[in-house]
Amino acid sequence: MPTTQLTLFAPENTFPEPAPCDQTVLCWGLGADSTAILVRMLEDPVAFGLRPDLSDLIVINAVTGMVL
């Protein structure tokens, strides 16, 4: 029997819950808001649910050179 789109969303279909993530990712845009958040995370990582050694924090930044 072919599967239709409606049968994919039927209440009897169960999908596994995603595994909890062990990492926190901060996209640091070098602006005032994201810098303030990063500084607060560095000052008190436990308040943000991070490990004290920050081993579960990933900070991402991209400098494109095209800031207007």
Confidence bin at 5 (pLDDT 50/70/90): low
Contacting residues for 35 by C-beta, under 8 A, at least 6 apart? 28
pLDDT in tens, 17-64: 666 778 999 999 888 999 999 999 999 999 998 999 999 999 999 887
Judge residue 2's burial from the number of C-beta atoms within 10 Å of its C-beta, 0-12 exposed, 13-18 middle, 19 or more buried. Answer: exposed
Determine the Cα–Cα distance for residues 64 and 68; give it in Å rounded to an integer. Answer: 11
Residue scoring higher pLDDT (30 or 11): 30
Confidence bin at 13 (pLDDT 50/70/90): low
Element (H, E) at 58: strand 57-60
